[in-house]
């Protein structure tokens, strides 16, 4: 049954959707935001500043909590007993993997989405990324260049608050930064070793507030970030965009509402969405002049693939056949771990500050010549160490009983580990579609993943393992080992593609403003429009591109291309 007509309906309230609803509400439009899960309330949902032994299940959560769920696989760090308040993570809606695919799809269904728990690494993309196809001849360029998007990167950074330094590196354009997060002794030791092997080790760009910013408090370095911040000292929709949108009184926020499809009128244009109310299991329709999808990359494609009509028999806005295609991800894995014996005997101080990506090794390969290495493009590495609350290296040393425990204590200040972030290349065999047979508990066809790592990213993986051997030697460290294989696809949560943008309607789903070529009142505000990943993370660019898309849409409202409801 129709409820009400809005100017815009926004699906998803995460980094992308939250930004869209803030921008549109502040411009005076009446917006209905629809979110698949409950409203996240930090005061009720987070149990921070406690030791694991203070929690009933020692931080792991009730082992029976997923017993009757359709998708029983637990998610990593973010889904723990520290954030077990409401039902924040998606386990009711199952997905499927094609034979040979092992995609790990972690979903936060609460308002604000995954950026309630994200790592906050927030570097700008550059022309080395946007024009990569021109440089190395592979794939498609992005339909924008750096000069065009830079003002929106600045706008996003100034709003979010990103801490870093100016570094003048070709693959990492500098931005508008808060003071960097202070380094620890171990960072200087890693940097010295890295310098010897010609690899940069620099402050990361981190969306964490080193000083009070835009009414948000400075970080107090409690180190709970991946379990959510209870004071809003890093960018998250819960503390930033959602309250901003609500302050305008132009927002209607619907929760526990799982959008199934985009509805179309007699001309095939978007006229609203249909969602399942999780509480009543009823299907409800909401109407609007413009629809924005921001359900997070693959789920946006899922909704579009499920939006079949006589106008759009293979999914809405899919005349190019590119919907669901070009699925990419960051290959993640540990290319090396070990310890610095020179730190043995030093006191164990809680210096794993803020659980954050304090420093990283930004891409250093293929900068002068795009084909210097055996692979094209390039990867970055996060190296970390210091004394975390929990000795994460426990499984890297052998032992049993009290000797094992005292070894863990002895090594506390010394371990160093790394994480590679290597972009996959678009491939015709990596895509999502809907499962022809399997449906979720609401009767919606399941999203199905088809994905394998390609040769290029696997060459980067091998390269990073050799670099770590050199680094440990250069640091005077002792390497204990490396992961035998990369993490499962999906682990990074930086998937891109599936609704790529481009100038040519025959080869892309949206135009350069993220407005679908076929359906001009349907826009996308998430990483599904990015044609290829980079060595950098996606969230700050999602916010920047969403801001740019909304500015373009508001221009269209001004010009009468879109009418107010």
Task: List CB contacts of 559: < 8 A, sequence separation 6 or more.
Answer: none
Q: Which residue lies nearer to ligand FAD by CB, 16 or 203?
A: 16
Q: Smallest distance, Å, CB 277 to ligand FAD? A: 11
Does residue 231 bind ligand SF4 (CB under 6 A)? yes
**Is residue 206 close enough to count as binding ligand SF4 by CB under 6 A?**
no
Where helices occur in 180-258 by DSSP H, the ranges are 185-196, 241-247
Which of ligand FAD, ligand SF4, none does 181 bind, CB closer than 5 to 8 A by kind? Answer: none
* Residue 221, binding choice from ligand SF4, ligand FAD, none, Cβ under 5 to 8 Å by partner class: ligand SF4
Look at residue 234 and give the partner it binds from ligand FAD, ligand SF4, none, a contact being a CB closer than 5 to 8 Å depending on partner kind: ligand SF4
294 lies in the binding site for ligand SF4 (CB under 6 A): no
Q: What are phi and psi of 111, to 5 degrees?
A: -60, 145
Tell me, rounded to whole angstroms, the distance of Cα 404 from its chain centroid.
37
Give the nearest distance from C-beta 354 to ligand SF4 in angstroms. Answer: 4
List interacting residues with ligand FAD (CB under 6 A). 11-17, 34-37, 77-78, 108-109, 111, 113-115, 117-121, 226, 258-259, 294-297, 299, 303, 357, 493, 526-527, 537-539, 542
Q: Which of 82, 130, 177, 221 is the binder for ligand SF4 (CB under 6 A)?
A: 221
In angstroms, give the least distance from the CB of 480 to ligand FAD. Answer: 24
Q: Which does 503 bind (CB under 5 to 8 A by kind): ligand SF4, ligand FAD, none?
A: none
**Cα angle for residues 96, 98, 104 (degrees, 5° grid):** 55
CA distances from 432 to 227, 235, 428, 429, 495 (A): 30, 30, 11, 10, 12
> What's the Cα-to-Cα distance from 144 to each of 406, 423, 456, 522, 529, rounded to whole Å?
55, 19, 25, 20, 12
Q: Quick one: which segment of 191-199, 219-227, 331-339, 440-448 binds ligand SF4 (CB under 6 A)?
A: 219-227
In the shown chain, the binding pattern of residues 336 to 375 toward ligand SF4, with x for contact by CB under 6 A and - for none, equals ------------------x---------------------
Q: Name which of ligand SF4, ligand FAD, none residue 222 binds, using a CB cut-off of 5 to 8 Å depending on partner kind.
A: ligand SF4
Q: Phi, psi (5° rounding) for residue 381? A: -135, 135
Among 233, 259, 328, 416, binds ligand SF4 (CB under 6 A): 233
Exposed (0-12), middle (13-18) or buried (19+): which is 23, by Cβ within 10 Å?
Answer: buried
Answer yes or no whether residue 163 interacts with ligand SF4 by CB under 6 A. Answer: no
List the single partner that 241 binds among ligand FAD, ligand SF4, none, CB under 5 to 8 Å by kind.
none
Residue 231 contact among ligand FAD, ligand SF4, none, beta carbon within 5 to 8 Å by kind: ligand SF4
Pairing mode, if any, of strands 283-293 and 522-524?
A: parallel
Residue 49 is a binding residue for ligand SF4 (CB under 6 A): no
| Cβ nearer to ligand FAD, comparing 119 with 415 | 119
Nearest distance in Å: CB 258, ligand FAD: 5
Could you give the CA distance from residue 238 to residue 322 in angstroms, rounded to a whole number? 33
Q: Which stretch binds ligand SF4 (CB under 6 A): 110-118, 225-233, 315-323, 470-478?
A: 225-233
Q: Burial, 406: exposed, middle or buried (Cβ in 10 Å; 0-12, 13-18, 19+)? A: exposed
Binding of ligand SF4 at residue 405 (CB under 6 A)? no
d(CA 350, CA 70): 39
Residues 27 and 25: their CA atoms lie apart, in Å, by 5
Measure the CA–CA gap between 80 and 152, rounded to whole angstroms.
Answer: 35
Partner whose footprint covers residue 460, from ligand SF4, ligand FAD, none (CB < 5 to 8 Å by kind): none
Q: Specify which residues 97 forms β-bridges with.
A: 449
Binder of residue 114, out of ligand FAD, ligand SF4, none (CB less than 5 to 8 A by kind): ligand FAD
| Residue environment code for 312-334, b if the CB has 16+ CB neighbours within 10 A, otherwise e | beebbbbbbebbbbbbbbbbbbb
The whole-angstrom separation of Cα 24 and Cα 21 is 5
Pick what 34 binds: ligand SF4, ligand FAD, none; C-beta below 5 to 8 Å, kind-dependent: ligand FAD
CB 383 within 8 A of CB 193: no
Interacting residue ranges for ligand SF4, rule: CB under 6 A: 208, 219-225, 229, 231, 233-234, 354
């Amino acid at each position: 049954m129709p409820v009400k007509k809005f100017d815009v309906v926004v699906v998803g309230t995460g980094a992308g959707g939250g930004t869209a609803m803030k921008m549109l509400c502040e411009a005076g439009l009446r917006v209905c935001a629809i979110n698949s899960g409950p409203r996240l309330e930090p005061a009720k949902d987070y149990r921070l500043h406690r030791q694991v032994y203070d929690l009933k299940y020692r931080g792991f959560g009730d082992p029976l909590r997923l017993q009757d769920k359709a998708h029983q696989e637990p998610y990593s760090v973010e889904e723990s007993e520290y954030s077990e308040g409401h039902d924040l993570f998606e386990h009711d809606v199952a997905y499927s993997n094609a034979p040979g695919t092992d995609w790990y799809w972690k979903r936060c269904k609460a308002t604000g989405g995954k950026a309630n728990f994200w790592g906050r690494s927030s570097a700008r993309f550059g022309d080395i990324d946007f024009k990569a196809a021109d440089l190395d001849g592979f794939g498609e360029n992005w339909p924008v260049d750096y000069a065009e998007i830079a003002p929106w990167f600045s706008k996003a950074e100034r709003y979010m608050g990103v801490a870093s330094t100016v570094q003048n590196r070709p693959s990492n354009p500098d931005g508008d930064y808060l003071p960097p997060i202070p380094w620890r002794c171990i960072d200087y030791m890693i940097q010295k070793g890295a310098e010897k092997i010609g690899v940069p080790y620099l402050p990361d760009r981190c969306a964490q507030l080193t000083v009070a910013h835009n009414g948000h408090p400075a970080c107090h370095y409690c180190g709970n970030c991946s379990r959510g911040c209870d004071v809003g000292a890093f960018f998250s929709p819960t503390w930033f965009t959602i309250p901003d949108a609500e302050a305008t009184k132009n927002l209607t926020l619907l929760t526990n509402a799982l959008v199934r499809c985009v509805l179309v009128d007699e001309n095939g244009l978007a006229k609203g969405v249909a969602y399942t109310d999780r509480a009543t299991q009823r299907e409800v329709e909401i109407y609007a002049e413009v629809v924005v999808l921001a359900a997070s990359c693959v789920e946006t494609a899922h909704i579009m693939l499920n939006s079949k009509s006589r106008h759009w028999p293979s999914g809405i806005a899919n005349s190019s056949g590119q919907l669901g295609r070009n699925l990419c991800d960051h290959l993640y894995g540990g290319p090396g771990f070990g310890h610095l014996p020179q730190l043995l005997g030093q006191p164990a101080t809680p210096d794993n500050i803020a659980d954050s990506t304090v420093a990283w090794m930004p891409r250093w390969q293929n900068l002068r010549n795009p084909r210097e290495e055996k692979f094209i493009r390039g990867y970055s590495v996060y190296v970390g160490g210091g004394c975390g609350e929990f000795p994460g290296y426990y499984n890297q040393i052998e032992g049993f009983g009290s000797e094992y425990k005292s070894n863990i204590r002895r090594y506390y200040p010394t371990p160093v580990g790394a994480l590679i972030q290597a972009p996959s290349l678009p491939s015709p065999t990596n895509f999502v579609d809907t499962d022809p047979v399997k449906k979720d508990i609401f009767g919606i066809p399941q999203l199905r993943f088809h994905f394998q790592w390609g040769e290029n990213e696997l060459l980067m993986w091998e390269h990073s393992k050799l670099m770590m051997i050199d680094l440990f030697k250069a640091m005077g460290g002792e390497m204990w080992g490396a992961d035998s294989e990369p993490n499962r696809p999906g682990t990074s949560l930086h998937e891109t593609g599936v609704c790529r943008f481009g100038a040519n309607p025959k080869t892309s789903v949206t135009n350069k403003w993220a407005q679908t070529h076929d359906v001009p009142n349907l826009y996308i505000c998430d990483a599904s429009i990015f044609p290829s990943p980079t060595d950098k993370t996606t969230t700050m660019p999602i916010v920047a591109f969403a801001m740019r898309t909304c500015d373009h849409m508001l221009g269209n409202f001004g010009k009468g291309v879109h009418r107010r409801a």
